[in-house]
Chain A
């Protein structure tokens, strides 16, 4: 595999990282994602790192860069699915990922993005979702 897939999910883009990221693959993902944000006009990106058993400073920096670039392109990024051991290690490494929004899973990440843009018309992704914007 030489690309991390970037999938439209409702009005956000979902990036599910399923492979041990080589540095070049991480850099390519940054570019692919920026192009797709512009091409689709979405305002939210979810990066699912459930499958990653480590996040080192390189991948941590990639996540921070993606979040910054997305923000410049008017899209918010939420990183979801971080394993507990990865969180402990990242903080001890000295990389607490300040400035990156996180949620425990994709569903909570979607909710976070929706609440970040309450004025935007949002397609219902969950039929039973009755929480209206205040």
Chain B
């Protein structure tokens, strides 16, 4: 489990179309700038958010994202959460493997996002949906 307490408002963005992936990126960037992440960390965070938002859209059939500034008592961070009510992921090991894709992409979405973020949790239930939560901490 990710240990993080809220330190800012929850901001939510529905993900139902391509343009919402762009909106998620913009929302995450806004919070990253407010949290004063370094430029490289902002870029990694926004890129990971873009991958996860597209997963929500393409694999989950749409859903929503929540973005929030959080703290672990020592450092600030940004938590991004993506939820869908899609088919779920039957084989998690494969879903985290580079190059494995069911959506016609490069299969880098989940594995790449995990590398770009500091922490990443995924819970999924076949037939019910998937929730991905990830945090990027300030240095």
In the bound complex, do residue B25 and residue A54 qualify as a contact, i.e. CB atoms below 8 Å apart? yes
Q: Could you say which of A22, A54, A58, A94 contacts B43, with CB atoms under 8 Å apart?
A: A54
Residues of A close to B111: CB separation below 8 A: 94
What residue in chain A is nearest B53 (Cβ atoms)?
Answer: A56
In the bound complex, do residue A57 and residue B26 qualify as a contact, i.e. CB atoms below 8 Å apart? no
B19 lies within 8 A of chain A by Cβ: yes
In the bound complex, do residue B115 and residue A92 qualify as a contact, i.e. CB atoms below 8 Å apart? yes
In the bound complex, do residue B25 and residue A94 qualify as a contact, i.e. CB atoms below 8 Å apart? no
What residue in chain B is nearest A60 (Cβ atoms)?
Answer: B106
B16 lies within 8 A of chain A by Cβ: no
In the bound complex, do residue A54 and residue B47 qualify as a contact, i.e. CB atoms below 8 Å apart? yes
Interface of B is mostly: helix
In the bound complex, do residue B21 and residue A85 qualify as a contact, i.e. CB atoms below 8 Å apart? no
Q: How many interface residues does chain A have, given as a range?
A: 20 to 34
A23 lies within 8 A of chain B by Cβ: yes
Q: How many interface residues does chain B have, given as a range?
A: 20 to 34
Cα–Cα, bound, A27→B4 (Å): 39
What residue in chain A is nearest B57 (Cβ atoms)?
Answer: A23
Q: Known: A20-B25, A58-B54. Contact between A92 and B44, CB under 8 A?
A: yes
B118 lies within 8 A of chain A by Cβ: no
In the bound complex, do residue B47 and residue A56 qualify as a contact, i.e. CB atoms below 8 Å apart? yes
Q: Known: A57-B112, A94-B111, A94-B112. Contact between A20 and B22, CB under 8 A?
A: yes
Residues of B close to A60: CB separation below 8 A: 106
Q: Known: A20-B26, A22-B18. Contact between A85 and B40, CB under 8 A?
A: yes
B81 lies within 8 A of chain A by Cβ: no
B122 lies within 8 A of chain A by Cβ: no
In the bound complex, do residue A56 and residue B115 qualify as a contact, i.e. CB atoms below 8 Å apart? no
| A21 → chain B closest CB, angstroms | 8
B67 lies within 8 A of chain A by Cβ: no
Kindly identify, within residues 8 to 48 of chain A, every residue whose CB is under 8 Å from any CB belonging to chain B. 20-24
- Give residues in B with beta carbon < 8 Å to A: 18-19, 21-22, 25-26, 29, 39-40, 42-44, 46-47, 50-51, 54, 98, 105-106, 108-109, 111-112, 115-116
Q: List, sorted by A's number, 5 A–B pairs whose CB atoms are closer than 8 Å.
A: A22-B21, A53-B29, A54-B50, A57-B51, A85-B39
- Give residues in A with beta carbon < 8 Å to B: 20-24, 53-58, 60-61, 83-86, 88-89, 92-95
* 14 extra A-B contacts, CB within 8 A, seeds A88-B44, A89-B44: A20-B22, A20-B26, A53-B43, A57-B112, A58-B50, A83-B43, A84-B40, A85-B43, A86-B43, A88-B40, A93-B115, A94-B108, A94-B111, A95-B108
